């Protein structure tokens, strides 16, 4: 557990702040049994070939990649995951009136399930709970498509146009949704305290939120088990466990 002095400092900064912006990554959900990508037990750390499944060019070109992706979606730990103390700490932060925006790279939907409001949560990489047609833009419930996969349709197609279906998440090589990423970047200019939690800060443009907030005059706090490239511009770096430390700095249970 981190020393009380650094926790007290960050907590005092949060108490004094008026517009806290939190940027979360996969690390906040590992204690909900959803592995991250690049941590010591990350999906890509253990199996570098899995990164191929996250590239839209391979997904659209190769039916075997799509079949493997659909198998992965069926088995994804998100379906049985529940929010942990880290997610609940950010709900407490919102209830205290401190949270300006909660920008998440996560696709697991756990911030909304924990109780943060949809007005505050910006899911910049989409959400696994929804499916989308890459041709006509149809969107629908992921579980309905997974029912077809379980019934033997290994590479399900859009019932409207026959196009390729995918989870409504942003893969490498895919454009971000302008309305969502623009709001996230704008909030980086507006915040007086930026808290980056459980992210390796290696995915851009989202990682730029940290230097943008710093340049705009905000305090920057990074909470991550491993070093990041922006630790040197942070006012505090907390390397402890998120589910243990985030409630201590946010005022959650
Ligand atoms: P990442 O895997 O690159 O980095 C996660 C970081 O969290 C690592 O540096 C790791 O050391 C740290 N970490 C893990 N568990 C921790 C804990 N309990 N306490 C403290 N630190 C911990 O993740 P990223 O930066 O979010 O980028 C990965 C991309 O993969 C994102 O774009 C995201 O969309 C996607 N992703 C999402 C999920 C999810 O929705 N839960 C899971 C895996 C990947």
Q: Can you read off the two tokens belonging to residue 42?
A: 């990350």
Alpha-carbon gap, residue 85 to 243, rounded angstroms: 5
- Is residue 58 located within the same domain as residue 111? no
Number of structural domains in the chain: 2
Q: Is 37 in the pocket of ligand 1 (CB under 6 A)?
A: yes
Identify the pLDDT of residue 1. 60
- Is residue 25 located within the same domain as residue 90? yes
CA of 34 to the centre of ligand 1 (A): 9
Identify the pLDDT of residue 2. 61
Q: Is 46 in the pocket of ligand 1 (CB under 6 A)?
A: no
Identify the pLDDT of residue 111. 98
Mean of pLDDT values over 230-242 = 97
Summarize pLDDT for 70-102 with one digit per residue, the tens. Answer: 999 999 999 999 999 999 999 999 999 999 999
Averaged confidence pLDDT in the chain: 95
Summarize pLDDT for 159-198 with one digit per residue, the tens. Answer: 999 999 999 999 999 999 999 999 999 999 999 999 999 9
Identify the pLDDT of residue 39. 84
- Is residue 20 located within the same domain as residue 90? yes
CA of 24 to the centre of ligand 1 (A): 8
- Is residue 132 located within the same domain as residue 181? no
CA of 156 to the centre of ligand 1 (A): 29
CA of 42 to the centre of ligand 1 (A): 8
Q: What is the DSSP string of 116-158?
A: --TTTEEETTEEEEEEEETTT--EEEHHHHHHHHHTT-SS-B-
Q: Is 18 in the pocket of ligand 1 (CB under 6 A)?
A: no
- Is residue 44 located within the same domain as residue 155? yes
- Is residue 240 located within the same domain as residue 186? yes
For a ligand 1 pocket test, name from 29, 39, 80 the mutation site with the most ligand atoms within 8 angstroms of its C-beta. 39
Alpha-carbon gap, residue 131 to 146, rounded angstroms: 10
CATH number assigned to the domain comprising residue 158:
3.30.1600.10
CA of 162 to the centre of ligand 1 (A): 34
- Is residue 74 located within the same domain as residue 87? no
Q: Assess whether pLDDT exceeds 50 at residue 253.
A: no
CATH number assigned to the domain comprising residue 24:
3.40.50.1220
- Is residue 47 located within the same domain as residue 58? yes
Report which of residues 48 and 65 the model is more confident about.
65
Identify the pLDDT of residue 114. 98
- Is residue 157 located within the same domain as residue 238? no
Give residue 123's pLDDT band: very low, low, confident or very high (50, 70, 90): very high
For a ligand 1 pocket test, name from 22, 36, 53 the mutation site with the most ligand atoms within 8 angstroms of its C-beta. 36
Mean of pLDDT values over 119-130 = 97
Alpha-carbon gap, residue 164 to 119, rounded angstroms: 31
Q: Is 203 in the pocket of ligand 1 (CB under 6 A)?
A: yes
SS3 165: strand
CA quadruple 119, 120, 122, 127: dihedral positive or negative?
negative
Tell me which residues are annotated as active site: 125
Give residue 43's pLDDT band: very low, low, confident or very high (50, 70, 90): confident
Query: What residues make up the domain containing 165?
Result: 40-80+128-169
Instruction: From 117, 145, 169, give the residue that closes a domain.
Output: 169
Summarize pLDDT for 126-158 with one digit per residue, the tens. Answer: 999 999 999 999 999 999 999 999 999 999 999
Instruction: Annotate 98-135 with b (16+ C-beta within 10 A) or e (fewer).
Output: bbbbbbbbbbbbbbbebebeeebbbbbbbbbbbbbbee
Give residue 45's pLDDT band: very low, low, confident or very high (50, 70, 90): confident
Q: Assess whether pLDDT exceeds 50 at residue 48.
A: yes
- Is residue 76 located within the same domain as residue 86? no
For a ligand 1 pocket test, name from 23, 31, 37 the mutation site with the most ligand atoms within 8 angstroms of its C-beta. 37
């Amino acid at each position: 557990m981190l020393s009380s002095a650094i926790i007290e400092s960050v907590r005092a900064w949060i108490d004094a702040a008026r517009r806290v912006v939190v940027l979360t990554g996969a690390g906040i959900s590992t204690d909900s049994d959803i592995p991250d990508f690049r941590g010591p037990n990350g999906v890509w750390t253990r199996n570098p070939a899995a990164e191929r499944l996250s590239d839209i060019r391979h997904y659209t070109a190769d039916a075997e990649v799509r079949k493997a992706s659909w198998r992965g979606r069926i088995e994804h730990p998100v379906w049985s995951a529940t929010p942990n103390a880290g997610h609940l700490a950010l709900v407490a932060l919102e209830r205290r009136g401190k949270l300006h925006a909660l920008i998440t790279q996560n696709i697991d939907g756990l911030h909304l399930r924990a109780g943060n409001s949809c007005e505050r949560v910006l899911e910049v990489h989409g959400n696994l709970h929804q499916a989308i047609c890459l041709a006509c833009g149809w969107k629908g419930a992921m579980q309905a498509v997974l029912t077809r996969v379980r019934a033997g349709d290994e590479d399900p197609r859009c019932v409207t146009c026959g196009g390729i279906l995918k989870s409504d998440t942003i893969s490498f090589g895919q454009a971000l949704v302008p309305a969502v990423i623009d709001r996230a970047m704008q909030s980086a200019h507006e915040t007086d305290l930026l808290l980056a939690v459980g992210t390796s800060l290696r995915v851009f443009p989202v990682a730029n939120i940290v230097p943008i907030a710093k340049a705009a005059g905000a305090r920057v706090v990074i909470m991550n088990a491993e070093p990041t490239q922006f630790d040197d511009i942070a006012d505090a770096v907390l390397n402890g466990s998120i589910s243990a430390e985030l409630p201590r700095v946010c005022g959650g249970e």
